Chains A and B, each alone.
Chain A
Amino acid sequence: MDAELYPYRSLRAGDIRFAYYRMGSGGPPIILLHGWPQTSHAWRRVAGLLSSAYDVVVPDLPGFGYTSKPDAGFDKKTIARRLREFAHGLGLSRVALAGHDLGGHVAYAYAAQWPEEVNNLIFIESSLPSFGQEEAMDVSKGGSWHFGFNMAGDISEELVRGREKLFVDHFMRREKVGLFDANSVSDADIEFYARALQRPGALRSSFSYYGTLPIDRSDNSVWGQTPLPMPVLAIGADWGYGAASEQTVRRVAKDVQGAVIERCGHYPAEERPDELARLIADFLAKTPSATHPAPQR
């Protein structure tokens, strides 16, 4: 699928106008959440692969892509609440959730607050605040510089403005967890993400996902006292964060399976879409939603 050529839809949910695409029909619903600094575009390959068996819903998260860029509420507790309003707006009261990177943080916040509404959770290339992300942030022990930069406030926006393509290209192709095969993402894809970051409010929103990490840390530490009840699949990439996804998930869930995709950087949805789609489909087939009891209300 070419960048920008597939149809987006819009849905108002609360004070947010969500942009999303939806593929397939009839199958159980799965919502795919992108990471930073991306958009729903990151799932373009996987969404098509899953659409034969699933109702695949792929939104731009609040602040990203064509979805509204609110003034506030970038802590993942609030983002998850807004995303749930979006899901309910589509008539989806029970879903499978897959989240990559910061999308994984949102997926966890959703599953932890409304466990009876999330049948399965797929957590990809991410570490949760309070449960392992701190190690990825500790530069004195090899952690990444970008956490501090992205949390620094207005100055980070000021430095990146007009240089969004350089910035995205750097993260996807140059960082130590970047793509194994730099050409698995085209220049047009990089442009697509860069243009999304160029829209007014986009950099502010994008960095606000980081500025709110301390709030997420305290929310997670409370939620984490109750292990997630649903089956969780944690997927890492050997050239990305490796086993970190599984390690973080094991601290907040009981029923955990882990997988690591090889010859793959931090962006498996784009670099290894077939393998990622197969892992997701196998997991969903083995852990049908019926095994998770319906909410008693």
Chain B
Amino acid sequence: MNSELKGFRHKLLRVGDVKIHAVVGGDGPPLVLLHGWPQTWWEWRRIMPVLAEHYTVVALDLRGAGHSDCPQSGYDKASLAEDVHGAMVVLGFSRYAVCGHDIGAMVALALAFTHRESVTRVAVLDAPMPGWSQWEANFADPMVWHFAFHMKRDLPERLIYGREFDYVSTFFADRTFNHGALPVEAVEIYARSMAQPGNTRGGLEWYRAFPVDHANALDWKRSPLTIPVLALGGDHRWGPKIVAMLEEFAGDVSGGSIRDCGHWMAEERPAETADALLKFFAQ
């Protein structure tokens, strides 16, 4: 899980009362990358070197994942966004661009709303957003059965314990178009990360905070974002819906689908994903 990427340095940042693990490299304006569930910063490994040619890339582990702390509380997306902003401030950045995937995309959007003065552009990759008009109806989609399971307190930790690989590998496979992109070694990295004491709970807490996130986002969207937003999804997952979804939150939304891609965009289609991100952030 503590896998190394050439040219990047690992840092442990003290942000308020938690420690946040960040992997930093490259030159240029700052760009922070926020991973999703059941992942860590490692999901960005294939596009970080390309992005680092133009940006100072900060790929961090969210509270509850990887090498970051897993405290008892603070897992709503506004609190996770506060961790990210704090980490960027510790690194010396007051204005920065943000890219998030899955749960990290929810954090990215929350960060754009709660730190409008700091976030220059935001890219949202393949996830439904709390506050979306279809958010509640979406719970009926069999593909997100895990929302309700993860929101159940205590029991999922017991059922997943010792079976992290089985659970994570099934979860990936069910949402992957390009199966070659997630070799067993990569899945093992995520599964071992989840198996660390506290991390299974930490990741599940992101889901348990959904009711709070939904209420917050409904409030935020009454003053839509004015910064440019890139909404991008796999054409086999959220791609077809994601632009209209983000237009509920922002006035300047571009994006769409990446072809032949499931949910794991930076791993399934790294070249296309990096290309779309570079074009968007260069504007």
Known contacts A158-B166, A159-B167; A145 and B158 CB within 8 A of each other: no
Chain B residues with CB below 8 A from A144, complex form: 148
Looking at chain A's contact residues, the main secondary structure is helix
In the complex, B152 has a CB within 8 A of chain A: yes
Q: How many A-B residue pairs have CB under 8 A?
A: 57
Per-residue CB contact flags for chain A residues 139-176 toward chain B (1 = under 8 Å, else 0) read: 11101110111011011001110010011001000100
Question: Once the chains bind, are A138 and B158 in contact (CB under 8 Å)?
Answer: no
Question: Once the chains bind, are B139 and A145 in contact (CB under 8 Å)?
Answer: no
In the complex, B93 has a CB within 8 A of chain A: no
Question: Once the chains bind, are A152 and B145 in contact (CB under 8 Å)?
Answer: yes
Per-residue CB contact flags for chain A residues 114-133 toward chain B (1 = under 8 Å, else 0) read: 00000000000000000000
Question: Once the chains bind, are A139 and B139 in contact (CB under 8 Å)?
Answer: yes
Instruction: For the complex, give the distance between the alpha carbons of A147 and B141 in Å.
Output: 12
**Which residue of chain B lies nearest to A158 when distances are taken between CB atoms in the complex?**
B166
Instruction: For the complex, give the distance between the alpha carbons of A179 and B151 in Å.
Output: 22
Best-buried of A141, A148, A151, A160 by chain B (most CB within 10 Å): A148
Known contacts A149-B148, A155-B167; A160 and B159 CB within 8 A of each other: yes
Shortest CB-to-CB span from B203 to chain A, Å, is 15
Within 8 A of A (CB), among B117-151: 135-137, 139-140, 142, 144-149, 151
Question: Once the chains bind, are A148 and B166 in contact (CB under 8 Å)?
Answer: no
Question: Once the chains bind, are B148 and A170 in contact (CB under 8 Å)?
Answer: no
Please classify how large the interface on chain B is, using the bins under 10, 10 to 19, 20 to 34, 35 or more: 20 to 34
Looking at chain B's contact residues, the main secondary structure is helix
Question: Once the chains bind, are B158 and A148 in contact (CB under 8 Å)?
Answer: no
Question: Once the chains bind, are B145 and A158 in contact (CB under 8 Å)?
Answer: no
Instruction: For the complex, give the distance between the alpha carbons of A141 and B139 in Å.
Output: 10
Question: Once the chains bind, are A151 and B167 in contact (CB under 8 Å)?
Answer: no
Question: Once the chains bind, are B140 and A138 in contact (CB under 8 Å)?
Answer: yes
Known contacts A151-B145, A155-B167, A158-B170; A145 and B152 CB within 8 A of each other: yes
Question: Once the chains bind, are A149 and B140 in contact (CB under 8 Å)?
Answer: no
Chain A residues with CB below 8 A from B171, complex form: 155
Within 8 A of A (CB), among B136-191: 136-137, 139-140, 142, 144-149, 151-152, 155, 158-160, 163, 166-167, 170-171
Chain B residues with CB below 8 A from A139, complex form: 139, 147-148, 151
Shortest CB-to-CB span from A160 to chain B, Å, is 6
Chain A residues with CB below 8 A from B159, complex form: 159-160, 163, 166-167
Chain A residues with CB below 8 A from B137, complex form: 140
Chain A residues with CB below 8 A from B140, complex form: 137-138
Question: Once the chains bind, are B151 and A145 in contact (CB under 8 Å)?
Answer: yes
Chain B residues with CB below 8 A from A145, complex form: 148-149, 151-152
Question: Once the chains bind, are A155 and B170 in contact (CB under 8 Å)?
Answer: yes
Q: List 28 A-B contacts (CB under 8 A).
A: A137-B140, A138-B140, A139-B139, A139-B147, A140-B135, A140-B136, A140-B139, A141-B136, A143-B148, A144-B148, A145-B148, A145-B152, A148-B147, A149-B145, A149-B149, A152-B149, A155-B166, A155-B171, A158-B163, A158-B170, A159-B159, A159-B160, A159-B166, A163-B158, A163-B159, A166-B158, A170-B155, A174-B155
Q: Which residues of A are in contact with B by a Cβ distance under 8 Å?
A: 137-141, 143-145, 147-149, 151-152, 154-155, 158-160, 163, 166-167, 170, 174
Given contacts A138-B139, A152-B142, 7 further A-B contacts (CB under 8 A): A139-B147, A143-B148, A145-B148, A145-B151, A149-B145, A155-B167, A159-B163
Closest 10 CB pairs of A and B: A148-B145, A145-B148, A140-B136, A139-B148, A159-B159, A155-B170, A140-B139, A145-B152, A149-B149, A152-B145
